[in-house]
Amino acid sequence: MTRPIVIAVDGPAASGKGTLSRRLATQYGLRHLDTGLSYRAVAQALLASGQPLDDEALAVEAAGAVDFTVFDPSVLSAHAVGEAASRVSVFPPVRRILVDKQRAFAMDPPGAVLDGRDIGTVVCPDADVKLYVTASPAVRAGRRHREILRLGGQADYAAILADIERRDARDMGRADSPLRPADDAHLLDTSQMSIEAAFLAACAIIDEALAARN
């Protein structure tokens, strides 16, 4: 049987990696997993039951109950849940539980596109292709701001920029699985790129890697 195809897409908050990953999954006939949702699900479970975010044992219990098949993105995508997710994601046992589930998802044929912070470095170090998608903090804050307004919400650009910078510092500075490009990742800086241009650039990289694999 042919080995599953795994495409790892990492990058900071609001870098456009989610949109890009969904399009890549469709293009290559693969399944898609937004691994951020698994950390968000842990955070949401604690928030919903009024429990603290800094209690490792409670977070571990919530991680054990995470089920990818019942995610509700409309609840999990809230800005505050992302902030809470970056707090529970620092606990190593929480990460181990979720990483095991993410690996199992990736290895199910025909394979998958996974997006997150540590896919190329920890979850799938043998991925066929690794992309690291980034953009300047100002560009990312602008995108997130417009997205919230488009969905009818209220948002303050300066507050979003401050959140993004704080989240970058927490994600890049943590001891376990910090956000960083894998040594063999292809960097895609989308500060000056449309979604379409980023998609085409990613396809060119993936086509070359898959041709070499066959």
For ligand CDP, the closer CB: 100 or 207: 100
| 116-155: contacts with ligand CDP (CB under 6 A) | 116-118
Longest dimension (CA), the chain: 52
Q: Judge whether 130 and 8 are in contact, CB under 8 Å.
A: yes
* Distance in Å, CB of 138 to ligand CDP, minimum: 16
Count of chain residues binding ligand CDP (CB under 6 A): 16
Q: At CB < 8 A and 24+ separation, what contacts does 76-82 make?
A: 76/37, 76/40, 76/41, 76/44, 77/40, 79/144, 79/148, 79/155, 79/160, 79/163, 80/47, 81/40, 81/43, 81/44, 81/47, 82/13, 82/36, 82/40, 82/167
At closest approach, how far in Å is the CB of 186 from ligand CDP? 18
When the beta carbons of 30 and 98 are compared against ligand CDP, the nearer one is 98
Report the 10 Å Cβ neighbour count for 213.
Answer: 11
Can you tell me which of 39, 71, 91, 105 binds ligand CDP, judged by CB under 6 A? 39
- Interface mask toward ligand CDP for 58-97; x: CB under 6 A: ------------------------x--xx--x--------
Q: Which residue has the tokens 């539980």?
A: 97
21 contributes a contact to ligand CDP by CB under 6 A: no
Interface pick for ligand CDP out of 167, 185, 188, 206 (rule CB under 6 A): 167
Written as one letter, the residue type at 64 is: G
Which residues of this chain interact with ligand CDP, rule CB under 6 A?
13-14, 18, 35-36, 39-40, 82, 85-86, 89, 116-118, 167, 171
